Structure 1
Amino acid sequence: MQDLLEYAASSQDEVCGLIIDGKKLFRCRNAHADPHNQFLIADNDWLAAEEAGEITAVFHSHPMNLPTLSSADRRGQIASGLPWILACNGVLREFRAVPHLLGRRFEHGVTDCYTLFRDAYHLCGIDLPDFDRANGWWLRGENLYLNNLPQVGFHQVCPSESLPGDVIIRQPFPGADPCHAMVLLDDNLVLHHDCAGHLSRREQMRPAFVKQMHSIWRHEQCSSLNLQGIYADISAKSN
């Protein structure tokens, strides 16, 4: 970790490298035409790293104050399929290679509303556990959200006090547990993924959503939740 931070601090441009076998930094030249804002690992550096061992992660720095992956970073990460480690402001953060937030097909326990909520928070700087959940939990009183959110740092807030980044829990089925999570974004938009055959999407808050609203939750580290992580991923997907 110290090697990565020292390497990042050695330049006012973005530095880059590859992690070999999960433990060794292979330093690469930033071949991008705008190295202060982006990075590019040349093919010969990548091939040389592959000869040294298994590439297990991509490393780069943000000399500017952007502690999340940019849209260009997300496009590169999706293409690589690897975890990316980012150094910014003397802090390291590893990002899982999660799929783009928009356009996912619903599969319970794999790509469902909690997966989207968890991955969105991960891209924004807050890591949440992957709760065990069997299909139909909302009909058995297992209360995935109501039982688990307080255990991982969330507390309820009044709807009138809601802020972008808060999580809205809906009760779309009468008689069932509140079972659908949506992340509130700016301009009264929500990011969510339901099981009605829709792809994961961003859309305006509907009157039906308000009617089905059960509660709104905020993480104790909400000041660390950088929504640029979500917006950069949406931009990357759109482009």
Structure 2
Amino acid sequence: MSECLEFASSSPGEVCGLIIDNARLYRCLNVHPEPKSHFRISDDDWLAAESEGEITALFHSHPEPINVLSGADRHAQVLTGLTWLLACDGVVHEFRPVPHLLGRRFEHGVMDCYTLFRDAYHLCGINLPDFERTNGWWLRGENLYLKNMSANGFRQIDASDMRPGDVIIRQPFPGADPCHAMILLAEGKVLHHDCAGHLSRREDYRLAYQRQTHSVWRHEQCSSLNLQGIYADISAKSL
């Protein structure tokens, strides 16, 4: 990480490189025509890095204090399928290769509402653990959401105080545990993924959802939650 930060400080524009065997940085030349705000690794550098070992991650820097991946970054990251390291403001941030947030197909325990919630927070700079969940937990009184929210830095807030980034837990039908998570976005939108055959999506926080709302939660690091990570990914999905 120290070598990445040293490299990032060596240029007023974006620098880039490849991590080989999870161990060392292969420095590349930024061949983008606008290197102050973008980067591109040449085919020659990529092939040269591959000849020295397995490429396990990609590294680049943001000279501006933007500590999340841009839309262009996310578009490229999904194509590479690699972990990306980002140097910004003297810190190296690591982003695992998650699928775009919109348009996901539902598979419980693999690609469900918690996966979306966890991945979205990851892209915004807050890392949450995964947890084991078997189908039907919401009918067995396991209360997985409520237990895990409290255990991972969230506190319940009054719904009248909601702001973008807060997590809304819904109780979709009577008699079940609160079992569905949505992230509140700007302009009264929510990001979520339910099991009713819909793809993950952004839509209005409509009256039916408001009536099903069980509780609203805010993370202890909410001040560092950069929602640009979500908005950038949404823009990247449209490319």
TM-score normalised by structure 2 residue count: 0.99
Which position in structure 2 is the counterpart of 1:62? 62
Which position in structure 1 is the counterpart of 2:6? 6
Q: 2:87 matched to 1:87?
A: yes
- Distance in 1 of aligned mates of 2:153 and 2:160: 21
Which position in structure 1 is the counterpart of 2:127? 127
RMSD: 0.4
Q: Deviations over 1:65-114 (max 9, x none)?
A: 11000000001100100000000000011100000000000000111000
Identity of aligned residues (%): 70
Q: Deviations over 1:99-149 (max 9, x none)?
A: 000000000011100000000000000000001101110001111111111
Q: Tell me the matched-pair count.
A: 239
Which position in structure 1 is the counterpart of 2:167? 167
- Distance in 2 of aligned mates of 1:95 and 1:173: 35
- Distance in 1 of aligned mates of 2:61 and 2:158: 38
Give the letter for the 1:192 counterpart.
H
Q: 3-state DSSP class of the match of 2:237? A: helix
- Distance in 2 of aligned mates of 1:138 and 1:97: 29
Give the letter for the 2:44 counterpart.
N
Q: 3-state DSSP class of the match of 1:7? A: helix
Give the letter for the 1:84 counterpart.
W
Runs of 4+ in 1 over 6 A off after TM superposition: none
Where do 1:127-206 residues align within 5 Å?
127-206=127-206
- Distance in 2 of aligned mates of 1:15 and 1:159: 43
TM-score normalised by structure 1 residue count: 0.99
Q: How far 1:189 moved relative to its partner?
A: 0.2
Which position in structure 2 is the counterpart of 1:25? 25
Q: 3-state DSSP class of the match of 1:52? A: coil
**Structure 1 unpaired stretches of 5+:** none
Give the letter for the 2:147 counterpart.
N
- Distance in 1 of aligned mates of 2:163 and 2:10: 38
Q: How far 1:163 moved relative to its partner?
A: 0.6
**Structure 2 unpaired stretches of 5+:** none
Q: Deviations over 1:187-234 (max 9, x none)?
A: 000000000000000001110000000000000000010000000000
Q: 3-state DSSP class of the match of 1:22? A: coil
- Distance in 1 of aligned mates of 2:75 and 2:238: 10
Which position in structure 1 is the counterpart of 2:112? 112
- Distance in 1 of aligned mates of 2:75 and 2:146: 34
- Distance in 2 of aligned mates of 1:3 and 1:100: 30
Which position in structure 2 is the counterpart of 1:231? 231
